[in-house]
Amino acid sequence: MNLSPSRTQPNFVPEFAALRPLVHAAFPGARGAFDCTPMPGGASTRSYFRVRAGDRTAVAMFVPDGPKPEEVVKGETSSRRWPFLEVRDLLAARGVDVPAFYGEATDAGWVLLEDLGDDTLASVLQARPDRRQELYVRAVTDLGRAQIALSELPSGSVVGSRAFDEDLLAWELHHFREWGLEARGIVLSPADRQLFDRFAARLAWRIAALPRVFVHRDYQSRNLMVRETGSLCWIDFQDALLGPRIYDLVALLNDSYQRFDRSFVEARLDDYARSVSLAQSERDALGREFDRVTVQRKLKDAGRFVFIDRVKGNDSFLKFVEPTIAKAAASAARLSDDEEMSAVFEMLGRVLSR
């Protein structure tokens, strides 16, 4: 077994005792050499390992603290089954491409899944930028079809038990204030704080009032795997909840790790509108919904990147803080008739340039 020498989580190595029997149960005919190699991780506490048993491979996901949400949620957070597994089964049943499930030992923190390789949408775009339009048309079309397929949820679904309501949306905006500003030594004056509080409450109210659909919550280029056929497989969907139809489109088309001009974004919104058969009046509303949700989502992301550095000791996301705030500012500028939002971004420009 090939383990990373830097692994320091308490009781981590003993948990591997549960992995070998799990793999052997999944692949009973593959009892040859057994190897387990760490895979690169992201910002979560989850760890991934590529497992080889004979001529079979799989990905073992280890969750040291059990099925805690990766993001803050409002609503039910406990479940008889891990939310990752419940959402995976729901998506698979409704025709969404998700990793095949091989087995679980969740009492020891393990889930065994299909090995999808290493080709995320982000990595494919880096090597083949000429495939950008093809893959993003597929991504927005897949999303639209999934929203239709998931318009009705099973009774008791963990997805239906949690939602982007006013409290959660406002909390995320204050997460930006706490980490994107105050943790970096930028403390708002009383007048600026009052302005920000009013803005956060009003923006949260307006977004929460939008009709709700299934939301992946982090539908972006690092969470879509590109299969050899060109189809896209969804991963990291354990925090799925109900929210605005535009939310996942914002995550995808204002992805902090990619850059798109507005014409590309509008063309993909057209693709989405066709996939869900929107009337022209509804399509016309999408652009403003997109910008409004972009402001909320990108400010939250900027704060989250600092939080990940300060709390989790991972500074790899810090380079995205300023570009992510710039994405929020660009969307705010397109909402120039919103005087309060304009005032907030004028204030943010002033305090961030000190």
CATH code of 345's domain: 3.90.1200.10
* 270, 311: one domain: yes
271 with 138: CB under 8 angstroms? no
Which residues in the chain show pLDDT less than 50?
1-12
**Sequence-distant (≥ 6) Cβ neighbours of residue 268 within 8 angstroms:** 136, 137, 140, 249, 252, 253
Cα distance between residue 217 and residue 239, in whole Å: 7
Report the pLDDT value the prediction gives residue 44, as an integer from 0 to 100.
65
Pairing status of strand 56-62 against strand 110-113: antiparallel
Report the pLDDT value the prediction gives residue 1, as an integer from 0 to 100.
37
Report the pLDDT value the prediction gives residue 11, as an integer from 0 to 100.
42
Question: Last residue of a domain, which of 80, 113, 146?
Answer: 113
In a domain, 102, yes or no: yes
* 97, 198: one domain: no
Domain count, the chain: 2
In a domain, 6, yes or no: no
Report the pLDDT value the prediction gives residue 51, as an integer from 0 to 100.
92
In a domain, 155, yes or no: yes
In a domain, 5, yes or no: no
In a domain, 4, yes or no: no
How is residue 296 written in tokens? 């909320």
Question: Last residue of a domain, which of 86, 113, 140?
Answer: 113
Cα angle for residues 154, 156, 158 (degrees, 5° grid) = 95
In a domain, 7, yes or no: no
- In 10 A of CB 13, how many CB atoms? 11
Q: Tens digit of pLDDT for each residue in 175-217?
A: 999 999 999 999 999 999 999 999 999 999 999 999 999 999 9
In a domain, 320, yes or no: yes
Report the pLDDT value the prediction gives residue 7, as an integer from 0 to 100.
38
Among residues 66, 70, 56, which one has the least CA distance to residue 22? 56
* 201, 277: one domain: yes
* 108, 127: one domain: no
* 62, 108: one domain: yes
* 78, 147: one domain: no
How is residue 105 written in tokens? 């030992």
Instruction: Give the end-to-end CA distance of the chain in Å, rounded to a whole number.
Output: 52
Coil, strand, or helix at residue 240?
coil
Report the pLDDT value the prediction gives residue 354, as an integer from 0 to 100.
84
Among residues 272, 239, 93, 221, which one has the least CA distance to residue 162? 239
Question: Last residue of a domain, which of 84, 113, 142?
Answer: 113
* 109, 162: one domain: no
Report the pLDDT value the prediction gives residue 64, as an integer from 0 to 100.
79
244 with 277: CB under 8 angstroms? no
DSSP classification of residue 179: I
Q: Exposure pattern of 301-340 as b/e (b: 16+ CB <10 Å)?
A: bbbbbbbbbeeeebeebeebbeebbebbbbbbebbeebee
Structural domain of 200: 121-352
pTM of the model: 0.90
* 56, 188: one domain: no
* 158, 286: one domain: yes
* 82, 223: one domain: no
In a domain, 136, yes or no: yes
- In 10 A of CB 21, how many CB atoms? 12
* 128, 253: one domain: yes
* 46, 135: one domain: no
